[in-house]
Amino acid sequence: MNTILELAPQNVWKHFYSLTQIPRPSGFREPIRDFLLSFGKNLGLESFVDEIGNVIIRKPATPGMENRKGLILQAHSDMVPQKNNDTVHDFTKDAIEAYIDGDWVKARGTTLGADDGLGVAAIMAVLEDNNLKHGPLEALITVDEETGMYGAFGLKPGTLRGEILLNLDSEDEGELYIGCAGGVDLTATLEYKEERVREDDGYVARRLTLKGLRGGHSGLEINQGRGNANKLLMRVLHDVLVSFDTRLVSYEGGNMRNAIPREATALLLVNPDEVNDLDAYIVDYEQQLNDEYTPIESDLTLDLEETELPATALPEEIQDALVNTLLACQDGVMRMIPTVPDTVETSSNLAIVTIGGGKAEVRILARSSCDTMKEFLADSLTSCFSMAGMKVVLSGGYSGWQPNVHSPILHAMKASYAQQFGVEPAVKVIHAGLECGIIGAACPGLDMISFGPTLRSPHSPDERAYIPSVAKFYDFLTATLANSPEKE
């Protein structure tokens, strides 16, 4: 077997392949929007784009199924654009190069886009197949889920007709999700006046880079103890600034709020008399970090490279305030759910840090399935950055999706899964920002479930889809359509 087009079920994998050929990073909406709209119209189905850019496609019930509750199949069209440092790829122009590696589909040096391309592909397969039994169907393909759930937030009340929503954006086959974490974006900024660097100051310049971390999804994989490049490099910088005659010039790390940062780099001024000692210090520090993070991380590297002397640097008081604040701020898991101790309740991701050119900016995604804990975490982070004189703005806040254990579609799907596969599906709450809670607020009364095939390391170039799970996921989806509840 050479290509994903030969995988089963072929009707799902062929559509996923077509999605890999269309650039669709978050914020780059038009190509995938036009593709999906044409797909629906070519099937003769009612297809339109709402005000925010979501694609909606409607398919009538098959004969004899008109009395079933209307089902909404929901997924998002965008993908997280992450690549390895040595991979040449333009996410606005280039196709994703997917390949088969044993039981997994991966991408060469980039994110795969199975999150949520496989959900979209499954919806396309359902819409195309006229042999399936189902009640009235609506496909809702939302935009820019990965960068702020803009499509879900922009959905207008009254747009949808269905009573049941199936979100196809979870990442463990055999699990049904009935609740999710809420979240809020925190942005902290500080403007400062740079100091000029003169040649007679006696410094040389070095670029310090930390890379090789696994990264990953800042909700689903936040509990695995993976290294955060921003947090780790700030730790190194703090110790370097204390131990050596050095100054910070600029810093850059991370590029997505919902991805654990994998790489970060800092530009330093260094006393030339201490360069050799600093080189040795960085080598030892690299070994120390690898010892601490084995076996979670296996390729962590710290590199110190010579570079040109810059024209400016941070004032020392600003440098110290920023480094100390970033070292102190909350990152990672803050609390587990007291009643479900194996599930994360509250966490934060020190996602993006940029310092240079007279401005510092920090972006964090804070999550919690408990709204009061989310507020507490946001207040804690705000206090931390305010002590450094930074301006803090909270935006894009959304509540968690509260579980309903008495959901009719949940009971129907549990029975259907057990009948198909001989085991009960797991019923869980996920520590990630699914769109269900936001859509549910716009469409009160929706009965909602989230499920999907098995994916690993979404939001990183290690993203992969477990091939055997895709057929089970799709078979379960079509059985759910055939067994959907009748109208009351």
- List active site positions: 78, 145
Rounded distance between C-alpha atoms, residue 14 and residue 209, angstroms: 40
**Radius of gyration for the alpha carbons in the chain, expressed in angstroms and rounded:** 24
Rounded distance between C-alpha atoms, residue 377 and residue 392, angstroms: 13
Provide the pairing of β-strand 426-430 with 391-398. unpaired
Provide the pairing of β-strand 137-142 with 71-76. parallel
Residue type, 5: L
Rounded distance between C-alpha atoms, residue 376 and residue 380, angstroms: 6
Cβ atoms of residues 252 and 363 within 8 Å: no
Q: Which helix (H) or strand (E) holds 452?
A: none
Nearest to 240 by CA among 207, 212, 262: 207
Cβ atoms of residues 303 and 209 within 8 Å: yes
Omega within 30 of 0 (cis) for the link into 295: yes
Nearest to 167 by CA among 242, 73, 241, 238: 73
